[in-house]
């Protein structure tokens, strides 16, 4: 299923992601019943997955990896108070291309051909990330 | 071609008077030319003779037996003519431009040029052969001087040197190097020849000049018959034909030369870019603007820079669309960029949703990771490799594959994997790998799945590094934080 991607370093992804998983587990050991904490944890795991994906693909010198890392870094910063701030987007996505720009991190300032290039790479990395996460989740649940 | 040889030495050695040895070694070119000019005085005959000369130098060598003293005569004649030619106009910038930097656009049909050259060479040859007191010699000499002056209108005052070096034109190795340069200069001479009749005393010989012009027009068509000595020649025929035509239309050789110089120096006009790009792969010699992209403008396509850039962009986009089409499942059947974009967007969204879902799953599962993370990871990731037949015994299989591992990388990775998975002692020191491997191979002497594992080694290897890392990490995160550096070292293997 996963196309072989030379730019995506699977060991790095696995290493970072598993380390983040164990760290998350270590930080909050025993409150799994609470749905809000569950959501928060899942969000953390998702962010960890994206961050490890970005770092695993960082060697490819693509713009989306830098944009993703920057976004995650900014998001990780503890916000003070304003959790439900309304973010006004200056340009709403109009067509399909804008939709694609919104999906690919860092895609707003790109040319269309660059956007397609980045999208291809991003799709590759996402699919291998999904496969890896799937295998990890399967392994954990199966036991 | 003869003119190439003729001007060849101009560019290479400034004063080639000491090249007698070369000249003596290979007099065939010179002699052939003389003979042909002796027999045939009409320009058409010259052309044919020249082509024959070009095509068959060996035969010419057989026919000719002129003594080397002829060359001396020619040289002195040339020196005289050179003094005449000095009076002609000299524009040094075109000489500079016409030299090496202008190889590309200045080609202007070296095959066209020979007849002209022959014509201008005619008086000299006739004079040399047997009629030094020929009454028509003055006129011919004047013509020749016209030729020289015209040809070097664009060149600097050094033009006497190339003419003086005429006998040395038969130097083969240099011919190869400087064929283009000589072509450049010859083209300029051609361009000048169409116009500069009035300023030189060539009233009588205007008829041949016109004939040459006509010939120049007709030459590209008939040229295909001749065996292409040079790819460049054939490729650049139309360019030069165009240029010469434009020069004729202008009726102003100066303008033509200037235009050439412009084209040579930078290819400043956008329309010229396409032509240059057509010829670009052929142009080995140094070319100042190299940073543009290879674009081929076909017939009927626009050639200004904006259209070229747009075409490049469109090609890039379609190529990446094709790549994405291969990447995104279910995108192969759809046609049309919009639908494909929809598919791509849907796929990316689904992948992101999958990531979200999996992270949810992992969050729910996460607390249970407490007890047996490392064993789970080891087993599951080995299972996730998926290609092994016996999932129930992943460690055995991996060990068997390890015994068949041939490359050092695989060996190390599998060693560490076996290390961490089978014997949970977690001594990840790479120095221990050897002993562990030996122990493992001794532990599993008669494995049944050895052959299977060996055959599946290639597919297995794709994922085993990952599994190694994961296992190492599992142990590392759980109970052996000290072994992290060795684990990472093995990741980088």
pLDDT tens-digit series, residues B310-326: 888 888 888 888 888 88
Residue B471 has pLDDT above 70, yes or no: no
Residues of chain A found within 8 Å of residue B378, distances taken between Cβ atoms: none
- Residues B119, B46 contacting (CB under 8 angstroms): yes
Say if pTM beats, i.e. exceeds, 0.90: no
% residues pLDDT > 70 (chain B): 14
Q: Which residues contact B279 (CB under 8 A, 6 or more apart)?
A: B104, B232, B235, B236, B239
CA distance B197 to B142: 11
Residue B69: half-sphere exposure toward Cβ, Cα within 13 Å = 1
CA distance B409 to B449: 22
Describe chain A by its helix, strand, coil percentages, rounded to 5.
65, 0, 35
pLDDT band at A136 (very low <50, low <70, confident <90, very high): confident
Looking at residue A46, what is its pLDDT?
86
Section B91-96 average pLDDT = 39
Specify the higher pLDDT residue, A103 or B222.
Answer: A103
pLDDT band at A102 (very low <50, low <70, confident <90, very high): confident
Residues of chain B found within 8 Å of residue A25, distances taken between Cβ atoms: 366-367, 369-370
Residues of chain B found within 8 Å of residue A12, distances taken between Cβ atoms: 469, 491
Helices (H), B99-159: 113-129, 137-151
Between the alpha carbon of residue B115 and those of residues B37, B44, B178, the distances in Å are 11, 8, 20
**Which among A15, A126, A127 has CB closest to B473?**
A15
Residue B64 has pLDDT above 70, yes or no: no
Q: What is the CA radius of gyration of chain B?
A: 38
pLDDT band at A55 (very low <50, low <70, confident <90, very high): confident
Between the alpha carbon of residue A104 and those of residues A69, A132, B151, the distances in Å are 13, 20, 62
Dump the DSSP string for B427-442.
---GGGHHHHHHHHHH
Q: Which residues contact B216 (CB under 8 A, 6 or more apart)?
A: B109, B112, B116, B190, B241, B244
Looking at residue B339, what is its pLDDT?
84
Q: Given an 8 Å threshold on Cβ–Cβ distance, is B380 in contact with A143?
A: yes
Which of B88, B87, B78 is CA-nearest to residue B164? B78
Residues of chain A found within 8 Å of residue B328, distances taken between Cβ atoms: 123
CA distance B358 to A42: 9
Looking at residue A73, what is its pLDDT?
82
**Which among A32, A97, A133 has CB closest to B358?**
A133
Q: Given an 8 Å threshold on Cβ–Cβ distance, is B477 in contact with A137?
A: no
Query: What ipTM describes this predicted complex?
Result: 0.85
Chain A: give the shortest CA distance to residue B423, in Å.
Answer: 20
- Long-range contacts for B9-12 (Cβ within 8 Å, ≥24 apart)? B9/B161, B9/B162, B9/B165, B9/B168, B9/B169, B9/B171, B9/B174, B10/B158, B10/B159, B10/B161, B10/B162, B10/B165, B10/B181, B10/B182, B10/B185, B11/B99, B11/B100, B11/B178, B11/B181, B11/B182, B12/B174, B12/B177, B12/B178
- Residues B84, B36 contacting (CB under 8 angstroms): no
Exposed, middle or buried: residue B166 (CB in 10 Å: 0-12, 13-18, 19+)? buried
SS3 A32: coil
CA distance B229 to B225: 12
Residue A45 has pLDDT above 70, yes or no: yes
Specify the higher pLDDT residue, B133 or B301.
Answer: B301
pLDDT band at B67 (very low <50, low <70, confident <90, very high): very low
Q: Given an 8 Å threshold on Cβ–Cβ distance, is A22 in contact with B341?
A: no
User: Minimal Cα distance from B310: which residue of A?
Assistant: A113
**Which among B355, B367, B379 has CB closest to A46?**
B355
**Which among B338, B365, B469 has CB closest to A96?**
B338
User: Minimal Cα distance from A35: which residue of B?
Assistant: B364
Greatest mean pLDDT among A6-15, B106-115, B191-200, B458-467 lies in: A6-15
In chain B, which among 454-473 make CB contacts under 8 A with chain A? 462-463, 465-466, 468-470, 473
Chain B: give the shortest CA distance to residue A79, in Å.
Answer: 22
User: Minimal Cα distance from B312: which residue of A?
Assistant: A113
- Residues B242, B105 contacting (CB under 8 angstroms): no
Q: Given an 8 Å threshold on Cβ–Cβ distance, is A104 in contact with B380?
A: no
Which of B144, B159, B137, B17 is CA-nearest to residue B86? B159
Residue B116 has pLDDT above 50, yes or no: no
Q: Which residues contact B466 (CB under 8 A, 6 or more apart)?
A: A10, A11, A14, A132, B381
Domain segments of chain A as ranges: 10-77+93-142
% residues pLDDT > 70 (chain A): 75
Looking at residue B227, what is its pLDDT?
43
Looking at residue B291, what is its pLDDT?
59
Residue B209 has pLDDT above 60, yes or no: no
Looking at residue B290, what is its pLDDT?
55
Specify the higher pLDDT residue, B283 or B351.
Answer: B351
CA distance A48 to A67: 15
pLDDT band at B233 (very low <50, low <70, confident <90, very high): very low
pLDDT band at A54 (very low <50, low <70, confident <90, very high): confident
Specify the higher pLDDT residue, A34 or B461.
Answer: A34
Which of A43, A39, A77 is CA-nearest to residue B355? A43
Q: Given an 8 Å threshold on Cβ–Cβ distance, is B355 in contact with A112?
A: no
Note the pLDDT tens digit of each residue in B184-206. Answer: 333 444 444 344 433 434 333 44
Name the DSSP class of B425.
Answer: T
Mean pLDDT of chain B: 47
Please indicate if any CB of chain A lies within 8 Å of the CB of B217.
Answer: no
% residues pLDDT > 90 (chain B): 1
- Residues B473, B420 contacting (CB under 8 angstroms): no
CA distance A10 to B484: 18
- Residues B477, A18 contacting (CB under 8 angstroms): yes
Greatest mean pLDDT among A62-66, B75-79, B468-472 lies in: A62-66
Section B361-373 average pLDDT = 61
Section B383-401 average pLDDT = 37
Please indicate if any CB of chain A lies within 8 Å of the CB of B369.
Answer: yes
pLDDT band at A15 (very low <50, low <70, confident <90, very high): confident
């Amino acid at each position: 299923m996963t196309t072989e991607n030379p730019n995506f370093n699977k060991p790095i992804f696995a290493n970072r992601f598993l380390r983040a998983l164990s760290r998350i587990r270590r930080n909050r050991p025993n409150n799994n019943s609470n749905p809000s904490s569950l959501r928060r944890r899942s969000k953390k795991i998702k962010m960890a997955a994206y961050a490890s994906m970005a770092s695993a693909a960082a060697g490819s010198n693509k713009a989306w990896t830098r944009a993703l890392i920057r976004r995650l870094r900014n998001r990780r910063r503890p916000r003070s108070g304003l959790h439900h701030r309304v973010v006004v987007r200056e340009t709403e996505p109009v067509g399909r291309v804008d939709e694609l720009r919104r999906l690919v991190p860092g895609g707003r300032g790109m040319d269309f051909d660059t956007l397609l290039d980045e999208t291809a790479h991003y799709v590759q990395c996402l699919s291998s990330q999904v496969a890896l996460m799937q295998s990890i989740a399967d392994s954990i649940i199966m036991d | 071609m003869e003119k190439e040889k003729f001007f060849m030495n101009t560019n290479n050695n400034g004063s080639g008077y000491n090249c007698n040895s070369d000249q003596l070694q290979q007099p065939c070119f010179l002699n052939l030319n003389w003979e042909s000019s002796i027999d045939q005085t009409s320009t058409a005959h010259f052309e044919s003779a020249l082509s024959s000369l070009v095509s068959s130098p060996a035969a010419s060598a057989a026919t000719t037996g002129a003594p080397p003293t002829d060359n001396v005569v020619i040289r002195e004649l040339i020196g005289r003519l050179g003094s005449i030619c000095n009076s002609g106009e000299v524009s040094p910038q075109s000489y500079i431009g016409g030299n090496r930097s202008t190889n590309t656009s200045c080609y202007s049909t070296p095959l066209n040029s020979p007849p002209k050259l022959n014509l201008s060479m005619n008086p000299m040859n006739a004079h040399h052969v047997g009629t030094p007191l020929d009454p028509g010699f003055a006129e011919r000499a004047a013509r020749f001087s016209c030729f020289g002056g015209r040809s070097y209108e664009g060149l600097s005052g050094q033009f006497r040197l190339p003419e003086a070096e005429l006998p040395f034109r038969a130097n083969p190795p240099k011919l190869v190097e400087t064929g283009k340069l000589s072509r450049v200069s010859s083209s300029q001479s051609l361009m000048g020849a169409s116009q500069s009749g009035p300023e030189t005393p060539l009233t009588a010989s205007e008829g041949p000049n016109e004939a040459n012009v006509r010939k120049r027009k007709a030459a590209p068509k008939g040229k295909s018959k001749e065996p292409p000595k040079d790819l460049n020649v054939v490729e650049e025929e139309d360019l030069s034909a165009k240029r010469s035509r434009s020069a004729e239309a202008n009726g102003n050789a100066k303008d033509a030369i200037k235009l050439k110089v412009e084209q040579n120096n930078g290819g400043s006009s956008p329309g010229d870019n396409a032509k240059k790009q057509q010829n670009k792969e052929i142009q080995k010699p140094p070319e100042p603007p190299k940073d543009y992209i290879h674009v081929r403008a076909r017939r009927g396509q626009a050639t200004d820079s904006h259209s070229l850039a747009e075409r490049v962009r469109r090609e890039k986009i379609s190529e990446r669309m094709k790549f994405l089409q291969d990447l995104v499942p279910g995108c192969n059947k759809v046609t049309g960029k919009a639908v494909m974009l929809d598919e791509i967007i849907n796929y990316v969204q689904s992948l992101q949703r999958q990531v979200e879902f999996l992270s949810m799953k992992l969050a729910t599962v996460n607390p249970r990771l407490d007890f047996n993370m490392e064993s789970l990871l080891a087993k599951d990731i080995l299972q996730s490799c998926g290609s092994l037949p016996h999932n129930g015994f992943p460690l055995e299989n991996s060990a068997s594959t390890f015994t068949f591992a041939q490359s050092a990388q695989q060996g190390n990775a599998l060693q560490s994997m076996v290390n961490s998975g089978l014997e949970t002692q977690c001594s990840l020191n790479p120095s221990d790998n050897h002993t562990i491997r030996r122990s493992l191979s001794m532990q599993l002497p008669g494995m049944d799945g050895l052959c299977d594992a060996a055959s599946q080694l290639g597919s297995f290897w794709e994922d085993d590094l990952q599994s190694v890392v994961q296992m190492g990490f599992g142990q590392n995160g759980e109970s052996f934080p000290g072994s992290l550096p060795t684990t990472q070292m093995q990741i980088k293997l």
